[in-house]
A and B are shown apart, each in its own frame.
Chain A
Amino acid sequence: MNETETHLPVEELAAYQAGDLPEAAQARVRDHLMRCPACTRMLLDLDALRRGVEPEDEAPDHEKERFWRALQPRLLALRSSRRLQIVQLLAAILAVAVVGLAIQNASLRQTVHDLSQPDLGPPVRDLSATAVRSADAPAAVSLAPDDRFFTLILSPADLRDFPDHEVVLERAGAGEIWRGRGLHRNRYGTFSLILARRQTGAGDYTLRLFGISGEHRMSVGEYHFRIETQQAP
């Protein structure tokens, strides 16, 4: 075998030995074997393994029994280590789940805490979908340092009734930052949406309102607004 030639893959030798290769490939393998004692040895080993042994060469039962007894402790160790790996994997999954739940719990506690604090006179801003299409500057929502929430009153452009509505909030330059379902029209025909200050921040936003009916999702309004935050004195 010359130095640049590589050994044949076992699969190719097996196919050659089984006569499964086309004539050209067979000739190529044969030529390689003529030059490569290592591949020849491998083919002969594979052939011997496939051919099996003559009955008179078969190891006696007591030898196989001894081999099996020697193999068993290693099989047992293998199974134990595999069980241990499964237990470790389950423990890792459990740990991740516990951490996740703890984070969610902390977030819920914070929300409950926020909601339980009276927020006197939070800013309320009426947004009209029709105004969006005008060239006016976006409506501004000015948040004082102690405003934790603000309310947007959304007047839809499409007055049809839908069983459900969805809101998608996008921040300029950052894309979608939040979406939520379960919004319903109030008796005045508008939608009240309360957003938390920590959800947002100063900047320009686009809010898209969709009506949901079964598989259908239709735009019923698009609103642009700007949040301005006032610094503490």
Chain B
Amino acid sequence: MQFFVNGGEVDIDFDPRTSLLDLLRERLHLFGPKKGCNQGACGACTVLVDGVRINSCLALAVQYQGREIVTVEGLGVPGALHPLQAAFVEHDGFQCGYCTPGQICSAIGMVSELKQGVPSHVSADVAAESFPLDHDELRERMSGNLCRCGAYNGIVDAIQETFGEAKAESEKSEAA
């Protein structure tokens, strides 16, 4: 079966019971996506499929034949980090690091949803044209990713700095 993983083509046969997460980790040796709860509750296994964030633990790999899969390894490498990876380092967006690859993939998928005008549970009017990446929206939209170290404040800051309006606001307040 054929997949496109982090920009490369992969041909591989496997038992149809294999989850996408197990295929990535056990067969392709991509250890970025983590097995936390293995039931869709923690988000540590989050990867991007055709740019959309999903829980790879709740997916059978056979469902995703022919699709474009990106794990954290496909976003940046040491020396050439993705801006969000650099921001996680800058803002202490992790302690143990276990949830980090899922948080980063999730945040990238989240910003894409925001750009497409997908509302959220905290959006005051679901019919609005667009939605801001403010504190409440960011936390709601990232609620599928748990961090047991509780590094949430750093995670929020890193995502805000990379994608949000927080940077502009903090610069404003510094100037004031």
Q: Do A and B come from one complex?
A: no
Q: Which residues of A contact B (CB under 8 A)?
A: none
Query: What is the interface of chain B, defined by CB distance below 8 A to chain A?
Result: none
